[in-house]
Structure 1
């Protein structure tokens, strides 16, 4: 969706490869396929011989990694990262991978997620003499590794990971190996693939399709992988695991051609639309979706009801996501730049507008207004997720209830504010059922905290405002 996720600056994207002669070029294409997960900055660290070399910058993958830059990146292994800035932390120094050099060797780190105990760990480390170079919580892991008492990198990393709380998917590279780790709840997606004899790791499986890699399996919650020239070794650094994948990955964040835990994202979104149709049958003339991530749900809603799906809203492909704009006024202006109603489709029609979420309500109000100006006689807004009533502390930039409209207003009050004729959200139970995960447990392995307020980890409120996510 373009729509309401101005407040949901999500995540980051990870890509790594070990043992391929075109490692830099493959990483470039992998990061390009993950660009939707971060448009603030990007970086690649390459292993050239026995040396790690990094290149990074603010901007898109194509802007940072020009032909001239790519020609200088040589090596058989690499890790890369795309990111969004969040409250308190843009800037070149926070662009990842972070690269550290010492007398004992080099270490590169890339992270997707957010550590909810980062400040407590920083205070402890600074009291012991550490000096932090960034505001990113990612740097905490590097200091913990450096201060560990083990003689090998695997032991150092394993020990450091046990001190972290929150959401984290890590790629770590040294001169001799690449390590991959996922938090004990598996809050962020992370998958393993292969290109010939080379191992590939990515935040989403769509990256494998782009670079020609074969999907092997999902990384397990609490798992630590060590990949080197001898092969791959897996162990569990934590036995206290409880799968809680972010449900918004299925609803919004991931690309529709990705698979998460064996479920295709497009298929899941269509199913969400069909479930929404069952919960909210409405008499109308056309169904339209807010581009892009709501289109799958809109198609599902149309198929279930028999109401024609039409392209009632057109996206301008030459404008970046509106929610990366730094101020609300610019975000609101960005809606007009990015979306245009199709008068020939909606004029004189009763329109069902499918969207995937409402955060602040501002964008929904503007889209409804545009559709009315284009001649729609009725506008029924249906949302393929439950109301977002609680902040996310795991890498999505909603740190307080005050900015969430559903936390402070009833559904009817929201409907009035956005100017729709009706407004319906999908139920929590319907969301779980539609996505179709089969993990054991009441919620089948979902994190539903933004809907229910039940968080899968302990939360440290004093740390939330200053932590720089991913």
Structure 2
């Protein structure tokens, strides 16, 4: 019943000898739970042996203190998963593990590759037999290692990794666990985020800065697009094995995915969303009694709209925080009720009111339609829907589950048709230029807006498109 966009994954890595690394990784994954709710896993190394524990479900349901106590070591990586390639069953949980010659490694991946068909053909392994593009990266790295006369030296893995990275096309933020070192890497475009943090006696890699905060790490910087960092007893070592290209961080990190207490591109996400709301109020003003957000990512935008317009900000819904993204409902009547289980209107704040309803995006519109019906039933006099991003018209091939364009409502309906379908009195989207200005004030580059414009930062092979038909 949740038709909001889904993101690939969250990754976390920790080098902290003498610390309870499995417990700290658990905390980091807990802070990244919003990036993937299908599965989670942790891999730990003590310098000699490596243990991997993973399962389907939420971080808190998979791991408890007893289970974490079995994962003893000095460094670890972790992963939360939402599947965009490969099924969501146990075999595709991460981290993925390989034992090659004298090397063990575990790998966790956020993003989506677009050249998997070519890479699997080069390996001579059907892609269905690998399961996911994350497993494909592990196979490529294993192949690079198996071609070497290994003596177990750390540098052999680093060299093999830097030979693997240039073969990949698409979105990837990777963390790799070796016996006594970590590797972190971002694709040259920087589609997905990755940060470096520092502890008093260690280093941390994480998809978002709140995961650094929760383990007490100080944010050092973003890993640059195209950068590879190796973390070991000697500190942090940086290299760039791929040529520089124009950067293209996913704009929907700001619209929806990233936590509002995090920072990206030097910008606080909460403040960016407020600026989106302020811009929307200037762009499409309306006479109304209250500004109401649809929880939760649209709340800062609604605050910005209210502040700029002078219309009071009012809570219109209570959100049930204890229901997951999936809810079993065998018929349409129960599916409609499932929306109410997640969101329930506050009638006293809605009845008889002219409302500006703020939403972060409209992807498929099915859940939003039910939400609008609830507001009408609660007595809303007028509903003026304002959306903090432009119409979402094009598939994403870089880590969002929107590869079927026929399911994107804005690709087959005009704004007026969407307004009528949703039952709103008016509907307005934020202009693309205003959205980009809100995200990166004074800059016009550094973002991927392909899902809004159809202008893809890198070519998408026909094989990648055919794979989801």
TM-score range, shorter chain: over 0.9
How far 1:331 sits from its partner (Å)?
A: 5.9
Contact 2:228-2:238 within 8 A present in 1 as well: yes
CA RMSD of aligned residues (A): 1.9
How far 1:209 sits from its partner (Å)?
A: 1.2
Matched, 1:139 2:135: yes
- Give distance in 2, aligned partners of 1:65 and 1:336: 30
Matched residue pairs, number? 458
Distance change (3 Å), C-alpha of 1:462 and 1:158: same
Q: Relative contact order (C-alpha < 8 Å, sep 6+): which is higher?
A: 1
Match runs of 1:24-103 below 5 Å: 24-86=22-84, 88-103=86-101
Distance change (3 Å), C-alpha of 1:354 and 1:316: same
Distance change (3 Å), C-alpha of 1:459 and 1:325: farther
Unaligned runs of 5+ in 1: none
Contact 1:272-1:297 within 8 A present in 2 as well: yes
- Give distance in 2, aligned partners of 1:185 and 1:327: 42
1:393-430 per-position Cα deviation (integer Å, ceiling 9, x unaligned): 00100112101010011000000000000000000001
Contact 1:3-1:355 within 8 A present in 2 as well: no
- Give distance in 1, aligned partners of 2:200 and 2:329: 43
1:332-352 per-position Cα deviation (integer Å, ceiling 9, x unaligned): 543121001111001000011
**Aligned counterpart, 2:262:** 258
How far 1:436 sits from its partner (Å)?
A: 2.5
**Aligned counterpart, 2:120:** 122
TM-score, with structure 1 as normaliser: 0.93
Contact 1:24-1:70 within 8 A present in 2 as well: yes
How far 1:78 sits from its partner (Å)?
A: 0.1
Aligned residue for 1:56, secondary structure, equals strand
Contact 1:389-1:452 within 8 A present in 2 as well: yes
Aligned residue for 2:171, secondary structure, equals strand
How far 1:257 sits from its partner (Å)?
A: 0.4
- Give distance in 1, aligned partners of 2:172 and 2:383: 40
TM-score, with structure 2 as normaliser: 0.94
Contact 1:93-1:133 within 8 A present in 2 as well: no
Matched, 1:165 2:169: yes
How far 1:134 sits from its partner (Å)?
A: 3.9
Match runs of 1:295-310 below 5 Å: 295-310=299-314
**Aligned counterpart, 2:445:** 444
**Aligned counterpart, 1:383:** 387
**Aligned counterpart, 1:429:** 433
Distance change (3 Å), C-alpha of 1:331 and 1:279: farther
1:125-149 per-position Cα deviation (integer Å, ceiling 9, x unaligned): 126xx89754111111122222225
Match runs of 1:184-195 below 5 Å: 184-195=188-199
- Of 396, 400, 411, the residue aligned with 1:396 is 400
- Give distance in 1, aligned partners of 2:81 and 2:467: 17
- Give distance in 2, aligned partners of 1:189 and 1:259: 10
1:94-150 per-position Cα deviation (integer Å, ceiling 9, x unaligned): 0000011233221101000000001211122126xx897541111111222222256
- Give distance in 1, aligned partners of 2:75 and 2:315: 43
- Give distance in 1, aligned partners of 2:127 and 2:112: 20
